[in-house]
Amino acid sequence: MSQLSQSHLLGIRNLTTRDIELIFETADNFKSIINQPIKKVPSLRDVTVANVFFENSTRTRISFELAEKRLSADVVNFSASSSSVKKGETLLDTVNNILAMKVDMVVMRHASPGAPHFLARHIKANVINAGDGTHEHPTQALLDAYSIREKLGSVAGKKVALIGDILHSRVALSNIFALQKLGAEVMVCGPPTLLPRYVRELGVRIELSVRKALEWCDVANVLRIQLERQQLKYFPSLREYTLYYGINLQMLNSLNKRITLMHPGPINRGVELSSDAADSPHSIILDQVENGVAIRMAVLYLLANRQV
Ligand code: NCD
């Protein structure tokens, strides 16, 4: 039987290409199931999953919860803002207390890079990283690559530009790893202050002009300016950012080809993306959200059924 090489999903960096393909094939099955009138399967009956969110989230948290419920898992939700973390409890104590109640899997979002890796070293449950600070967001990259495969037939050989705040985005790093493993060419584009120095070592193209990036790519994945993670001023004003790096429908229509437009959400409408572009036929933003549930079902299913 095919199975994942890992017992946790901490990042894309340590997945093999075969792992990613296996997740996609499993997600294909789940996608057809969730489009049927009866969306629920018993695959994770008797498995208890804790969604432990130390950072805000709408899409990712709801998507994991729906994926778990459609697999018939028992689900407990925890958000840091309403917990004893505010009273000074450590991460390990919080999670060990949840595990003492017999939890099998932990889906965690945390503001500190490496927090899920730390947890995986100390607890028995399978850990899924739902975003660790500016580091990785593996299920987002999987659903992004899966959506490209669905729209364009394959990821291999496609040119994908990641445009925006590369420095603070965990979606960017996970996307770079996933797309490269699947054989795509990757470009990053944004103001020089928002391109991390290490990006040169990752084998990606670097482009400062958004116009040139759009002319080069088959797919543009537009990323949000992560104002909440910026301690410094990386650009003069949001207005100036939009002027130089904002994407609108007129720009997309002026290209001599049709490109696919993506965004992980939440969109800052009128900043990195205009509403007419986000809502245009170029956009597969809502397909990404739909595919997120199937991808997360696949990851949960494959981790829960892994034989050791
Ligand atoms: C992203 C995240 O939280 O990293 N969103 C998401 O998971 N859908 C991107 C973002 O916050 O801009």
Burial of 99 (0-12, 13-18, 19+ CB in 10 A): middle
Q: What is the mean pLDDT of residues 64-92?
A: 86
Write down the pLDDT at residue 86: 67
- Whether residues 160 and 35 share a domain: the answer is no
Write down the pLDDT at residue 83: 66
140 CB less than 6 Å from ligand 1? yes
Write down the pLDDT at residue 100: 86
Write down the pLDDT at residue 185: 98
Flag whether 2 is in a domain.
no
If one compares 135 and 79, the residue with the highest pLDDT of the two is 135
133 CB less than 6 Å from ligand 1? no
Write down the pLDDT at residue 95: 82
Residue 241's CB is within 10 A of a number of other CB atoms, namely 21
Query: Is the pLDDT at 99 greater than 90, yes or no?
Result: no
pLDDT of 207-251, one tens digit each? Answer: 999 999 999 999 999 999 988 888 778 899 999 999 999 999 999
Flag whether 179 is in a domain.
yes
Average pLDDT score over the chain: 94
Distance 193 CA to ligand 1 centre (A): 20
In whole angstroms, how large is the CA radius of gyration of the chain? 19
The single-letter code of the amino acid at 300 is L
Domains of the chain: total: 2
- Whether residues 41 and 64 share a domain: the answer is yes
Q: Which of 97-101, 109-113, 150-154 has the lowest mean pLDDT?
A: 97-101
Flag whether 5 is in a domain.
no
Query: Is the pLDDT at 308 greater than 90, yes or no?
Result: no
1 pLDDT tier (thresholds 50, 70, 90) = low
- Whether residues 177 and 277 share a domain: the answer is yes
- Whether residues 213 and 253 share a domain: the answer is yes
109 CB less than 6 Å from ligand 1? no
- Whether residues 148 and 100 share a domain: the answer is no
- Whether residues 280 and 297 share a domain: the answer is no
- Whether residues 132 and 145 share a domain: the answer is no
Flag whether 231 is in a domain.
yes
Q: What is the mean pLDDT of residues 167-190?
A: 98
- Whether residues 164 and 151 share a domain: the answer is yes
- Whether residues 246 and 257 share a domain: the answer is yes
- Whether residues 179 and 117 share a domain: the answer is no
- What are the angstrom distances between the C-alpha of 265 and each of 101, 203, 210, 224? 33, 26, 19, 8
Q: What is the mean pLDDT of residues 104-130?
A: 94
Flag whether 1 is in a domain.
no
Write down the pLDDT at residue 231: 75
CATH of the domain at 232: 3.40.50.1370
Flag whether 59 is in a domain.
yes
Polymer length in residues for the chain: 308
Cα 258 from Cα 281, distance rounded (Å): 10
Write down the pLDDT at residue 85: 67
Pocket test for ligand 1, best of 64, 137, 221 (most atoms within 8 A of CB): 137
Q: Phi and psi dihedrals of 289, rounded to 5?
A: -65, -45
Flag whether 6 is in a domain.
no
Flag whether 7 is in a domain.
no
- Whether residues 70 and 200 share a domain: the answer is no
Write down the pLDDT at residue 82: 66
pLDDT of 132-169, one tens digit each? Answer: 999 999 999 999 999 999 999 999 999 999 999 999 99
Query: Is the pLDDT at 302 greater than 90, yes or no?
Result: yes
263 CB less than 6 Å from ligand 1? no
If one compares 96 and 178, the residue with the highest pLDDT of the two is 178
- Whether residues 106 and 176 share a domain: the answer is no
Ligand 1, atom nearest to 224 Cα: 12
Full domain range(s) for residue 29: 12-136+289-304
The pair of structure tokens assigned to 64 is 């994991």
Q: Give the 3-state secondary structure of the chain.
A: CCCCCCCCECCCCCCCHHHHHHHHHHHHHHHHHHCCCCCCCCCCCCCEEEEEECCCCCHHHHHHHHHHHHCCCEEEEEEHHHCHHHHCCCHHHHHHHHHCCCCCEEEEEECCCCHHHHHHHHCCCEEEEEEECCCCCHHHHHHHHHHHHHHHCCCCCCEEEEECCCCCCHHHHHHHHHHHHCCCEEEEECCHHHCCHHHHHHCCEEECCHHHHHHHCCEEEECCCCHHHCCCCCCCCHHHHHHHHCECHHHHHCCCCCCEEECCCCCCECCCECHHHHCCCCECHHHHHHHHHHHHHHHHHHHHCCCC
Write down the pLDDT at residue 230: 80
Pocket test for ligand 1, best of 142, 171, 227, 288 (most atoms within 8 A of CB): 171
137 CB less than 6 Å from ligand 1? yes
